[in-house]
Amino acid sequence: MRAPSLLRALVVRLTIVVLLALAGSYLVLYFEFRDGLMGLEGQSIAIQVQDLRASIVSGSSPPRLELPRSLQEFYAQPDTLNGYQLLAADGTVLESGGFSAPDLPLPVAQGVGQVVMQLETNALSGNSVMAAALDLEDRHGRSWLRVVRNLKDTESLVAQLMLGALDELYPPIALLLIAVVSVVVVTVLSSLRSLRSVSHQASMLSLNRLGERLHAKNLPRELVPLVQAVNASLDRLEADYRVQREFTANAAHQFRTPLATLRARLESRFSAQILGDVTFEIEQLARLVEQLLCLARLDSQEEFQFAAFDAYAVALDVARELAPSALESEHYVTAATPDASVPAHGNATLTRLVYRNLIENAIQYTPAGTSITLSSDSTGVIIADDGPGIAVHAAASLFERFRRGPNASGPGAGLGLAIAKCIMERQGGRLSLDAGAARGARFVVEFLQPR
């Protein structure tokens, strides 16, 4: 499953927030503009009702209007949106003209001579209707003079103006959105750049670099506690690791002399026939102790003496030493390039241990009749066999400490290849398994070249 992207999440969420903010601003602007136009409409009809009041015929019962010619023409226009009503106290229409809104309820009286504003919805058309009603009273009783206006065109005008404004605002809105997203992308990428540097530092940590820590320089303040927590964990791990290594080294050192003394006493008192496999087991235990001591030296800060030497000549020398034991188990050690030379810079004594571990492993873990071949190239020595090879799943953990293959049998603690790899790394070289070998196992030992 693909890991979620922080940058993508921030950009998407910020885009949604900006769009919602713009939509909210647009709605606020729409209602403010609509309310402003409604206010103007209200002022207009309030003035009209006052003009109509002057047209009431005084003393008539019921009351009636005598409109001047200008108002008659105004209310007689086709499809007019303006109208007037003269209403009795019970709501009966005494006289009307222009736009008709018969279903408007009577307003709540607020006092004679007061103009009461109404905003209703026409039940027939569904349009909003605004009215200004004037409360009248004379000796014949109370009546209402009301001016009404259909707000259909007003609402349509508001919608058209807002849509027009939106069309004009499209380019600035798009530019604003692009600018905001760009700022976010640049900010996140610049913040993640320092985080990638910390990730690179973390990937370089290893047992050989236990003293190194992650740096919080230029990191966002929110990530500094995480780095500090990781460094604190590394401090504890380093302390525990050093205690473990010191214990291993001290235990191995303490076992070394008693084992040698035990073997000498047993051999002095009993014959080889009586001892049987006891001597072999003591030898294996002594070998394990020596390996642990070697690892302790490699893990320490001890400086080894490096010099120029012929890596291939050392490999041939080790092969000659192990040839008799190889022949006993029907293995054949040969040199493909006996006259070759591989100039190297390192410690020849430690390098002998690398070759010994590789050749002994080939003898121990391959069947009788297997050939073990030494060869060279421009940068290193190659030790290969034509045995069954190493499974892919086992190759990944091949150089780990105390790790043996699933089909391993016989003596051994799984430290040989770990020691060999550690020796090569301390010399600045490399030990690797060639995954592309056509047959068997093929180990490549690469060295630093002499200066």
Confidence of residue 316 (pLDDT cuts 50, 70, 90): very high
Res. 116: pLDDT tops 80: yes
Other C-beta atoms closer than 10 Å to the C-beta of 235 total 12
What are the distances in angstroms from CA 291 to CA 249, 295, 429? 10, 6, 20
Res. 65: pLDDT tops 70: yes
Question: What one-character DSSP code corresponds to residue 222?
Answer: G
Domain 6-156, classified CATH 3.90.220, yes or no = no
Res. 361: pLDDT tops 80: yes
Beta bridge partners of 308: 345
- Mean pLDDT lowest for which of 381-385, 402-406, 439-443? 402-406
Residue 181 and residue 14 in contact, taking contact as beta carbons nearer than 8 Å:
yes
List, for residues 362-379, the tens digit of each pLDDT value: 888 888 888 999 998 877
Q: What is the Cα–Cα distance from 239 to 18, expressed in whole angstroms? A: 51
Instruction: Determine the distance from the C-alpha atom of residue 329 to the mean position of all C-alpha atoms in its chain, rounded to a whole number.
Output: 56
Res. 280: pLDDT tops 70: no
pTM for the complete prediction? Answer: 0.47
Please give the structure tokens belonging to residue 158: 């508001």
We find that the CATH architecture of domain 307-446 is 2-Layer Sandwich (3.30)
Q: What is the mean pLDDT of the chain?
A: 79
Q: Mean pLDDT, to the nearest integer, of 238-244?
A: 74
Nearest to 245 by CA among 428, 408, 396, 422: 422
Buried-exposed string 71-100: b where 16+ CB fall within 10 A, e elsewhere: beebbeeeeebbbbbbbeeeeeeeebbbbb
CA angle 386, 388, 394 (to 5 degrees): 125
Domain ranges across the chain: 6-156, 221-299, 307-446
List, for residues 420-442, the tens digit of each pLDDT value: 888 888 888 888 888 777 788 88
Which of the four CATH numbers 1.10.10, 2.60.120, 2.40.50, 1.10.287 does domain 221-299 have? Answer: 1.10.287
Indicate the length of the chain as a whole number.
Answer: 451
List, for residues 137-153, the tens digit of each pLDDT value: 877 778 888 888 887 77
- Mean pLDDT lowest for which of 97-101, 172-176, 193-197, 259-263? 259-263
Name the CA radius of gyration of the chain, rounded. 50
Res. 59: pLDDT tops 80: no
Residue 166 and residue 30 in contact, taking contact as beta carbons nearer than 8 Å:
no
